[in-house]
Amino acid sequence: MADAPENLLHTPLYDLHVSLDARMVPFAGYAMPVQYPTGIMTEHKWTRESAGLFDVSHMGQVLLTGDGADVALETIVPGEVLALQPGKMRYSMLLNETGGVLDDLMITRREGDLYVVVNGACKQGDIAHMRAQLEPKGVTVTYRDDLALLALQGPKAVDALSRLVPGVESLTFMTAGAFTWDGAELWISRAGYTGEDGFEISLPNDRAVAFAKALLEQPEVKPIGLGARDSLRLEAGLPLYGHDLTTEISPIEAGLGFAISKRRKTEGGFIGADVVLNQILSGTDRKRVGFKVEGRQPAREGAQVVTEDGRVIGLVTSGGFAPTVEAPIGMAFVEKDFASDGTQIFIDVRGRRLTATVVPMPFVPHRYVRISK
């Protein structure tokens, strides 16, 4: 397929994507596969039914080391880090002084360090922010650009991966551990961004292609691009940074208050705490909601949400046709009086008004493995 511009960065799997006839597009400064010849719809359904392999090596893998790294990290994220046990993961966010989200991220405690994964488009800014805030507190911030990152998602992911890496089946949702494959050291977590069971595999750049090929040789596994990744996460009701999360949106407005523990709500002590803790007590004027559109035309990001008489009450931040739901769905930020499930709203799409209903999220039930089977 047509190549992406030459000035883009390449992940270690770039040549493999090209050999698989992926359509490459610019994303977060990288040339990334948006889809393969079978198409986004087929890739989406395959992931829901079997196992899809995603290249997420554009994301940033960062190590925080030093005595008190957890104490220091809690000054810049609202999540509970001190109580995090080895091999356990936590979802959190970097916030600015006004409570807006600089990025959302995953934190894992390991023996000797905290392992943090940040979004690709934000990673340089995130790393600079962490260094400025944490290094004066004695924490070393190391960007591991020598590591690739793969995600294997879907109900049969555990079958395929456990053949190559015995023992991964013992992991449960939001846990992680060290493994080996053909002499290569792997760090594997069980989480994901599709709502399905799945794994993230961190490994050396020079072993990434061989490991990806070994996975693709498994009958359950096919390569999946960014297009299906987006439709899968939308069905799962998961926000995408830069769209449903920005520096102008707080965790409470976005419905992510679950990521702030009772202790952090009581003690504060993180950047943006004054704003966030006040919002927890007093509420917010707008909220992130899910909606389902009548008919077949989707409402895309940037479309205005309006009342029946045309008053603007919100903005669509993600939207598209959902293959599993078989209907157009989306997320929007709307005034709090219009945020209850069952509320009828209208969406202006290039002058055409679509009728939609606020519905609970996720649109498709999550199927994470929370207990050992």
Pairing of the two strands 60-65 and 286-293: unpaired
Could you read off the pLDDT of 275-323 as tens digits, one per residue? 999 999 999 999 999 999 999 999 999 999 999 999 999 999 999 999 9
pLDDT band, residue 5 (cuts 50/70/90): low
DSSP E strands, the chain: 23-27, 30-35, 51-55, 60-65, 89-95, 101-110, 113-118, 140-143, 147-153, 175-181, 184-190, 198-204, 221-223, 286-293, 304-306, 312-322, 327-335, 344-349, 352-359
DSSP 84: P
Could you read off the pLDDT of 13-71 as tens digits, one per residue? 999 999 999 999 999 999 999 999 999 999 999 999 999 999 999 999 999 999 999 99
Average pLDDT of the chain to the nearest whole number: 97
Could you read off the pLDDT of 333-361 as tens digits, one per residue? 999 999 999 999 999 999 999 999 999 99
What sign does the dihedral 223-229-231-233 (CA atoms) show? Answer: positive
Euclidean distance between CA atoms 6 and 13, whole angstroms: 16
Question: Taking residues 93-106, what's their average pLDDT?
Answer: 98
CA atoms within 13 A on the CB side of 357: 8
Both tokens assigned to 209: 């292609």
Give the full edge-to-edge strand order of the sheet including 221-223. Answer: 175-181, 184-190, 198-204, 147-153, 51-55, 221-223
| Contact assessment for residue 270 and residue 76, using Cβ atoms and an 8 Å cutoff | yes
Euclidean distance between CA atoms 117 and 194, whole angstroms: 17
| Contact assessment for residue 77 and residue 70, using Cβ atoms and an 8 Å cutoff | no
Both tokens assigned to 326: 């078989």
Query: Does the pLDDT of residue 223 top 80, yes or no?
Result: yes
| Contact assessment for residue 77 and residue 269, using Cβ atoms and an 8 Å cutoff | no
User: CB under 8 Å to 2, separation ≥6 — which residues?
Assistant: 23, 24
| Contact assessment for residue 290 and residue 297, using Cβ atoms and an 8 Å cutoff | no
Could you read off the pLDDT of 141-159 as tens digits, one per residue? 999 999 999 999 999 999 9
Query: Does the pLDDT of residue 373 top 70, yes or no?
Result: no
Question: Looking at this protein, which amino acid is placed at residue 104?
Answer: D
Euclidean distance between CA atoms 70 and 68, whole angstroms: 5
Euclidean distance between CA atoms 272 and 281, whole angstroms: 15
| Contact assessment for residue 363 and residue 235, using Cβ atoms and an 8 Å cutoff | yes
Euclidean distance between CA atoms 102 and 108, whole angstroms: 19
Question: Looking at this protein, which amino acid is placed at residue 83?
Answer: A
Q: How far is C-alpha 8 from the chain's CA centre?
A: 22
pLDDT band, residue 6 (cuts 50/70/90): low
| Contact assessment for residue 70 and residue 167, using Cβ atoms and an 8 Å cutoff | no
Could you read off the pLDDT of 246-268 as tens digits, one per residue? 999 999 999 999 999 999 999 99
